Structure 1
Amino acid sequence: MSWFDAIILAIVQGLTEFLPISSSAHVRIVGELVGTADPGATFTAIIQIGTELAVLVYFWKDIVRIIRQWLGSLRGKVPRNDPDARMGWLIIIGSIPIVVLGVLLQDLIRDQFRSLWIIATTLVVFGIFLGIADVLGKREKQLDKLNMKDGLIYGFAQAMSLIPGVSRSGGTITAGRLMGYDRPSAARYAFLLAVPAVLGSGGYELYNALTETSEATAIAWGPTILATIIAFAVGWAVIKFLMKWIETRSFMPFVIYRIALGTLLFVLLAFGVIDPLSGTA
């Protein structure tokens, strides 16, 4: 992978990670179009560390407070029903589905799930789900109403993002809207819930790339590190934009974009312009 390709893919990653349009799908598609084919699950997971660091920076005060109160509840110094302590437990519980399914479906994630046919389908189908959820959602519940059942539903929705094209934020926001949470609350919890999952996945892929010879030779470390830094900077700007956007606007522009992109991808695949499995394992 060249430096230029890495920069392009990093910008794409940063722009799309937090919008409900699937960053992994866009990195996969753009990688195909710029000539690098599939940049791979390892490259994708590692540069996602950059965008997730943007979440840590943007929500730093919230995250520190949640961790402090959660640890305090373990030592009995903070009531277990404290809102931040509860949020800590809900993030842990909500992270279980993606951890379990990520381990069980690891081979599929690296291979069949990266087919452009699957990506085109999930872009359209889950775009429609997001549109329906955003229109029908009651828009009244906030995060202080979040309970264990809702936390698990959020978690399974996030786990769907193991399939490129679903979108981590899109899946969790869709679930949140269907359960009646307002847009800012659904988006905020989606970002917080993603922190352990993305850092864990990226750390795991980074460990594999460092310890397994076959993986290490497949990674261009200079471009990958630069891409991670760029993804962080762009991701931070996008979080700031999105949190402001959803205060007064709906997710419908993203729904239309997903359906249009998925449809275009179907056309390109049907006419043989691009190979659905080019570059995959």
Structure 2
Amino acid sequence: MTLLTLSLLAIVQGITEFLPISSSAHLILLHEWTGQTADALALDVAVHIGSVLAVILYLRAEVGRVLRGLGQLAGGDRTAPDARLALQLVLVTIPTLIMGAVLAATGLVDRLRDPVIIGVTMIVFGLWLWWAHRSQPEDRKMDDWNMRDVVRMGLWQAVALIPGVSRSGITMTTARLLRFERHAAARLSMLMSIPVTLATGGYLGLKVVTEGMSAAQWGQVGLAAALAFVSAWVALVLMMRFLDRVSFTPYVIYRVVLGVVLLAIAL
């Protein structure tokens, strides 16, 4: 993979990783355009490192609470607010880890990377996000997150392992169905992404250590990680600002259009 292609893919995935528009769909399009593979190990490692650092920095207050909560849980305290938040974040991640292991073991991961599947899921789940936001009031804040919400959001996050569904999109949709206000829905979605992204990055990191990489490849990984970090940070900031004015509608329109494009390419 050329340095230009690696940089382009890192920037695009960094931008799309936490927006409700599915990074998988964009990688398929870039693959068609550049003729390069969209799932190179170096790129996967770089994007996960850069993007998770961006969201950790953006949600540094919430991350600090979770870290304090983990310490409280280790000390046997499950009643403190921070301990409860940490426990919720652990539990909400479990279904995705289980589903990921099943897909990897059965080989379904590669079979699901079909442009037709991605095009359909882009359209269907995009329209569902629009309906969820339009049909439900915004009367719950992030501190209202409870175990019942954790179960529902955790199960739907696991469904997002199907390319095109969008992890951020489906978790924001579920949060809005649970009547969380738009900013709370976005922040919960981003917070939920941290353990999943860390787990994925750790798994890929082990593969890198096992397979080995040249010094040149490590240099490319560093550059791609930096580009992914900057692009993910900018995307997060702009998304949170746009939610005040335009809500999720532009993302829904974008998803539907991109889904149609993918179906046209595939068919």
TM over 0.5: yes
Conservation of the 8 A alpha-carbon contact between 1:109 and 1:163: no
Q: 1:83 deviation in Å?
A: 2.5
Match of 2:222 in 1: 225
Cα offsets for 1:42-63 (capped at 9, x unmatched)? 7335412211110111112321
Between 1:126-135 and 1:109-118, the stretch displaced more is 109-118
Conservation of the 8 A alpha-carbon contact between 2:42 and 2:220: no
Q: 1:165 deviation in Å?
A: 0.9
Cα offsets for 1:91-142 (capped at 9, x unmatched)? 0010001010111111545411111111111111111111111111221111
Aligned to 2:204, the other structure's residue is in SS state helix
Match of 1:274 in 2: none
> How many residues of Structure 1 are paired with residues of Structure 2 in the alignment?
265
Aligned to 2:112, the other structure's residue is in SS state helix
Q: 1:73 deviation in Å?
A: 4.3
Match of 2:163 in 1: 164
Q: 1:66 deviation in Å?
A: 2.3
Aligned to 2:164, the other structure's residue is in SS state coil
Match of 1:68 in 2: 68
Match of 1:143 in 2: 142
Q: 1:33 deviation in Å?
A: 1.2
Aligned partners of 1:6, 1:12: CA distance in 2, in Å?
10
Conservation of the 8 A alpha-carbon contact between 1:46 and 1:203: no
Relative to 1, partners in 2 of residues 1:18 and 1:75: Cα closer, same or farther, differing over 3 Å?
same
Matches within 5 A, 1:185-264: 185-212=184-211, 220-264=217-261
Relative to 1, partners in 2 of residues 1:182 and 1:41: Cα closer, same or farther, differing over 3 Å?
farther
Aligned to 1:130, the other structure's residue is in SS state helix
Match of 1:112 in 2: 111
Q: 1:222 deviation in Å?
A: 3.3
Relative to 1, partners in 2 of residues 1:251 and 1:95: Cα closer, same or farther, differing over 3 Å?
same
Match of 2:29 in 1: 29
Conservation of the 8 A alpha-carbon contact between 1:22 and 1:164: yes
Conservation of the 8 A alpha-carbon contact between 1:9 and 1:31: no
Structure 1 unaligned runs (5+)? 271-281
Aligned partners of 2:124, 2:254: CA distance in 1, in Å?
12
Q: Is 1:39 the equivalent of 2:36?
A: no
Cα offsets for 1:200-248 (capped at 9, x unmatched)? 11110121132047xx69x944333321210011111111111222234
Structure 2 unaligned runs (5+)? none
What amino acid sits opposite 2:118 in the alignment?
I
Percent of matched pairs sharing the same residue: 37
Aligned partners of 1:42, 1:141: CA distance in 2, in Å?
40
Relative to 1, partners in 2 of residues 1:167 and 1:198: Cα closer, same or farther, differing over 3 Å?
same
Aligned partners of 1:108, 1:45: CA distance in 2, in Å?
20
Cα offsets for 1:67-106 (capped at 9, x unmatched)? 1134124425x6x333222111110010001010111111
What amino acid sits opposite 2:187 in the alignment?
R
Aligned partners of 1:249, 1:193: CA distance in 2, in Å?
24
Cα offsets for 1:138-164 (capped at 9, x unmatched)? 211112221111112111121122122
Relative to 1, partners in 2 of residues 1:109 and 1:43: Cα closer, same or farther, differing over 3 Å?
farther
Conservation of the 8 A alpha-carbon contact between 2:69 and 2:85: no
Aligned to 1:111, the other structure's residue is in SS state helix
Match of 2:84 in 1: 86
Conservation of the 8 A alpha-carbon contact between 1:137 and 1:178: yes
Q: Scaled by the length of structure 2, what TM-score is found?
A: 0.92
Q: Is 1:266 the equivalent of 2:256?
A: no
Q: Scaled by the length of structure 1, what TM-score is found?
A: 0.87
Conservation of the 8 A alpha-carbon contact between 1:70 and 1:86: no
Conservation of the 8 A alpha-carbon contact between 1:24 and 1:44: no
Aligned to 2:28, the other structure's residue is in SS state helix
Aligned partners of 1:234, 1:5: CA distance in 2, in Å?
15
